[in-house]
Structure 1
Amino acid sequence: MNWVEGIGYLGTALTVASSAMGTMIPLRIVALCASCAVITYGFLIGSVPLMLTEAIQIPFNAWRLYEMVRLVRETERAASGDLSLDWLKPFGTLRRFRAGEVLFLKGDEAKEMYLIESGRFRIAEHGLDIRPGQIVGELGMLSPGNRRTGSLACVEAGTAPCLSYSEVKQLYYQNPEFGFYFLKLTSERLFQSAAEAAETARPAAAAGSDVL
């Protein structure tokens, strides 16, 4: 075996290795390396179709690698910073809601979550108003049996990108690092919401004791 064939075998080995990987970022990196090796081999043996096939794949793999790296970085920044979830918008489907419309009821099967973009929504059981920039419905993914822990209704007409749990799970399985930061972010938002609810309830309790 000469060195030209060695390059060809290297490209084949990298291609097989990328197909066997389960996480997206290493997969894309190895796939790009495989394409470079195969293009080099195709050039040395004068095979234009071989070079063309791999050259077409490079932009797709490079773009998907960029998207996943950006997703992980933005999730990490959100988890350690302002808790913003705007980076999820490209993965959701924008929906419009009318005032008085009920999105889901407590106990319903949960399959999706919403990132509020405009309008005002309310969880009646907890007396919580959900406003633009907040996420709602994510706890159903973590609750036993994937059931809703409260009812959500639209108070003021607005819009909200809808992100299915299957999409979130796909992102998680493609990149466990994303899953770690997403769970960290969700937990922090849960504690934040609990603290806000406690602050809201404290003045009402104090007012009730004054009346008594």
Structure 2
Amino acid sequence: MNWVEAIGYAGTVLTVASSAMSTMIPLRIVALTASCVVITYGLMIGSMPVVLTEMIQIPFNAWRLFQMVRLVKDVEKAASGDLALDWLKPFGKARQFKAGQVIFRMGDEASEMFTIESGRFRIPEHDVDLGPGDVVGELGMLAPDNRRTGSLVCIESGHALCLAYSEVKQLYYQNPEFGFYFLKLTSERLFQHAGRSAASVPADAV
């Protein structure tokens, strides 16, 4: 076996290794490395189809790597800072709600979370009003029975960004680091809400 064949085999090994990986960032890094090695091999043997195939894959793998690295950084920043969930926007779907519409009821099975972009919403059981920038429904994913702990009613027409729990779980499986920071972020938000609720209870009611 000469050194040209060795490069070809190295590209094959890296390609197979990337296919066997389950976490997104290492997978994309190895896939990009494999493409570079295979391109080198393709040029050496004069096979343009091999070169073109890998050149087409490089932009896709590079973009997905960029997205995941940025996602992890954004959720890490949110978990240690303002607790905002703006980083979810690229993964959500915008929906419009009309005044009086019940989005979900207490006890319903939870399958998605919402980031309010406009309008006003209310959780009647907890006497909580929500507006642009507020997030609701994320704790249902962590509840043992995945049930809603309150209802959500639209009291002024607006839009909300909806993100399915399945999408969040997929992001977690692709990168456990994302899952760690998302759990930390959700826990911080839970403690924050609990603190606000405690502060709103009159002293003579304790």
TM-score interval, smaller chain: over 0.9
Please name the residue that 2:178 is paired with.
178
Question: 1:133 offset after TM fit, Å?
Answer: 1.1
Please state if 1:200 is matched with 2:200: yes
**1:154 and 2:154 equivalent?**
yes
CA distance in 2, matches of 1:184, 1:133: 19
Shift of 1:31: 0.1
- Determine the C-alpha separation between the residues in 1 that align with 2:130 and 2:197: 12
Give secondary structure in 1 for the equivalent of 2:22.
coil
Matched, 1:92 2:92: yes
Q: Tell me the TM-score normalized by structure 2.
A: 0.97
Consecutive unaligned residues of structure 2, counting only runs of 5 or more, are none
TM-score norm. by structure 1 comes to: 0.94
Q: CA deviation at 1:104?
A: 0.4
Shift of 1:157: 1.5
Please say which of residues 57-66 and 84-93 is displaced more in the overlay. 84-93
Code of the residue aligned with 1:200 in structure 2: it is S
Deviations along 1:107-139, whole A, 9 cap, x unmatched?
Answer: 101110001111221111111122211210111
Q: Does 1:19 align with 2:32?
A: no
State, as a whole percentage, how many aligned pairs show the same letter: 73
CA contact (8 A) 1:128 1:197 kept: no
Structure 1 residue 198 displacement after superposition:
1.8
Alignment RMSD (CA, Å): 1.3
Q: Which residue of 2 aligns with 1:57?
A: 57
Tell me, in whole angstroms, the C-alpha distance in 2 between the residues paired with 1:41 and 1:191: 55
Show CA shifts across 1:22-71 (max 9, x none). 00000000000000000000000000000000000000000000000000
Match of residue 142 from structure 1: 142
CA contact (8 A) 1:106 1:150 kept: yes
Aligned partners of 1:125 and 1:150 also within 8 Å: yes
4+ residue segments displaced more than 6 Å: none
Q: Which amino acid aligns with 2:110?
A: A
CA contact (8 A) 1:8 1:38 kept: yes
Question: Aligned residue for 2:45?
Answer: 45
Letter in 2 for 1:129: D
Contact 1:143 1:149 in 2 (8 A): no
> In the aligned structure 2, how far is the partner of 1:132 from the partner of 1:195?
21
Aligned mates of 2:120, 2:178 — CA distance in 1: 29
SS in 2 for 1:178: helix
Match of 2:36 in 1: 36
Equivalent residue number for residue 77 of structure 2 = 77
In structure 1, what is the Cα distance between the partners aligned to 2:78 and 2:159?
A: 22
